Structure 1
Amino acid sequence: MKPQTESQIQKDCVRWFRQVYPAIEPLFFAVPNGGARNAWTAKIMKDEGVRAGVADLLLLLPRSGYAFLCIEMKKPGGMQSESQQVFQRLVERVKGKYVLCHSLEEFVKEIRGYIG
């Protein structure tokens, strides 16, 4: 069986979240930061505020002393880039929680632990 891509894993996670937490689903969203695009589109997105390193998914729900949750998705074995590590430190500095997930199972564990 072919390993899942980061995109496939993220889609599964979003689908699961929408099914399990419909009442707070509007507070959970993706940041269209990654992916291939041409130079013109990249310039427009940068001018509109896209920033390198921002986490893939955000949950704007304060819990357990955290202001919000940022989730960086990676395929199995995937590692953060330097800009993602910098963003993680910034999030943690302002009392946000930042997690790295490589699978639906990791995502479910993190979400359940965060929401309670």
Structure 2
Amino acid sequence: MESTTRISEARLQSCCVIWFKNTHRQHADLLYQIKNDGRKHAISASSDKALGLTPGIPDTFMAIPRGPWHGLYVEFKRPGEKLSDAQRKVIPQLQAQGYRVEVVTTEEQFRMLVYEYLAHGTA
């Protein structure tokens, strides 16, 4: 049951990932966070950029090919929040490479997305 209380993006993501790992144990290691948030000190940000940090990459990746897609990227947003300019730039590039990308604002939406995505046959 969805709560009407506004939860943080981090809490939404955490609840969804925990649900996935408990419900889809056979795929538990194939859904993972992409540590790409903007809350970094200048030294850390510079080092992370040199290591491949790319602004705009969605929050999580499900490394399971299904249907026509190589995998599923999920960006978590609180209801009413918009994508950043970097996200609006990167998401179409990921889609053009054969990845599915979805923006999720509720736990129920995430659950429905996962069930629908996994129902597609393997690539």
TM range (shorter): over 0.9
Match of 1:24 in 2: 27
Do residues 44 (structure 1) and 44 (structure 2) align? Answer: no
What is the alpha-carbon distance in structure 2 between the residues aligned to residue 68 and residue 60 of structure 1?
Answer: 5
Do residues 76 (structure 1) and 79 (structure 2) align? Answer: yes
What is the alpha-carbon distance in structure 1 between the residues aligned to residue 48 and residue 65 of structure 2?
Answer: 28
Change (3 A) 1:35 1:52: closer
What is the alpha-carbon distance in structure 2 between the residues aligned to residue 87 and residue 26 of structure 1?
Answer: 25
Identical residues among aligned pairs (%): 23
Give ranges in structure 2 of 5+ residues lacking alignment: none
CA RMSD of aligned residues (A): 1.2
Report the alpha carbon displacement of residue 88 of structure 1 after superposing the two structures with TM. 1.0
Q: How does 1:58-97 map to 2 (within 5 A)?
A: 58-97=61-100
SS in 2 for 1:99: strand
Report the alpha carbon displacement of residue 2 of structure 1 after superposing the two structures with TM. 4.7
TM-score of the pair, normalised by structure 2 = 0.90
What is the alpha-carbon distance in structure 2 between the residues aligned to residue 103 and residue 96 of structure 1?
Answer: 21
What is the alpha-carbon distance in structure 2 between the residues aligned to residue 4 and residue 24 of structure 1?
Answer: 26
Letter in 1 for 2:89: V
Give ranges in structure 1 of 5+ residues lacking alignment: none
Partner residue of 1:13 out of 13, 16, 21: 16
Aligned length: 116
Letter in 2 for 1:55: P
Moved over 6 A (4+): none
SS in 1 for 2:114: helix
What is the alpha-carbon distance in structure 2 between the residues aligned to residue 108 and residue 87 of structure 1?
Answer: 24
